[in-house]
Homo-oligomer: A and B are copies of this chain.
Amino acid sequence: MTTRTFKDPLYEQVARIGKALASPRRLELLELLAQGEKTVEMLAAALAIDLKLASAHLKALAAARIVASRRDGKYRWYRLSGPDVAQLWVRLRDVAETHLAELRVALHAMAGAPETLVATVREALLAQARSGAIVVIDVRPRDEYDTAHLPFARSLPLAELEARLAELPADKDIVAYCRGPFCVFADTAVQLLTARGYRARKLRDGVSEWQAAGLPLAMTAR
């Protein structure tokens, strides 16, 4: 059949992307890269894996063309090939959460499940943040905040949170977010804040989820 000779290469090409998404390590790399450019060293450290292994996985992602890289001196900086790649990660995770009960169980068990803000309140949250009724804090590292953050969010990296508590108003609700539903930074921040008497909640979204919902992001001007 002549059709097969035309069709097979098409599905094979798409499967290249599928193969890139077939490893938990590579998915974690994608999620990190969705926060901004990183070096191999940074990524390997974040995943707690060998540098060579991180390099090999990045090579696989680059072969599927969903990550790109540039060299800057001794370092090579990796990034996602486009915003559509971050969206794909969000969609893939959504499908997994919808259909895999095991994932929902694991998510629930993750951080003792503090009160979490869900999807429906995004616009309301934005309005409250705009009016100053609540304070939204981004607890990721500063460079990730600079790359892109939620509108009206203030950068307060988890590592500095305890030392900079004085910056937070005691009389307002605080909403913390980080890299997304799989990231525990915001959970930790909420625990710490709650222990210190603040009213704090976690927002499930990271910047990719926020953008996937069609809402705008902000970035630090340079």
**Hey, which bits of chain A sit against chain B, CB under 8 A?**
1, 3-4, 6-19, 21-25, 27-28, 48, 64-66, 81-82, 84-85, 87-88, 91-96, 98-100, 102-103, 106-107, 109-111, 182, 184
Number of copies of this kind of chain in the complex: 2
Please, which residues of chain B bring their CB within 8 A of the CB of A24? 8, 11-12, 14-15
Contact assessment for B88 and A13 in the assembled complex, using a CB-CB cutoff below 8 Å: no
Please, which residues of chain B bring their CB within 8 A of the CB of A109? 6
Please, which residues of chain B bring their CB within 8 A of the CB of A88? 91-92, 95
Contact of A84 (CB < 8 Å), options: B65, B81, B94: B94
Q: How far is the CB of A94 from chain B (nearest CB, A)?
A: 7
Contact of A19 (CB < 8 Å), options: B22, B85, B107: B22
Contact assessment for B96 and A14 in the assembled complex, using a CB-CB cutoff below 8 Å: yes
13 example contacts (A-B, Cβ-Cβ < 8 A) are as follows A6-B110, A8-B24, A10-B103, A11-B25, A14-B27, A14-B93, A14-B96, A15-B23, A18-B22, A19-B22, A64-B99, A65-B99, A84-B91
- The CA-CA distance from A2 to B88 in the complex, in Å, is 28
- The CA-CA distance from A95 to B96 in the complex, in Å, is 18
- The CA-CA distance from A93 to B18 in the complex, in Å, is 10
- The CA-CA distance from A102 to B3 in the complex, in Å, is 18
Contact assessment for A10 and B106 in the assembled complex, using a CB-CB cutoff below 8 Å: yes
Known: A24-B8, A95-B85, A96-B13. A3 touches B184 (CB 8 A): yes
Contact assessment for B25 and A22 in the assembled complex, using a CB-CB cutoff below 8 Å: no
- The CA-CA distance from A11 to B100 in the complex, in Å, is 12
List 9 additional A-B contacts (Cβ < 8 Å) besides A10-B106, A88-B91: A11-B24, A13-B103, A17-B100, A18-B22, A18-B27, A21-B21, A21-B22, A85-B95, A88-B95
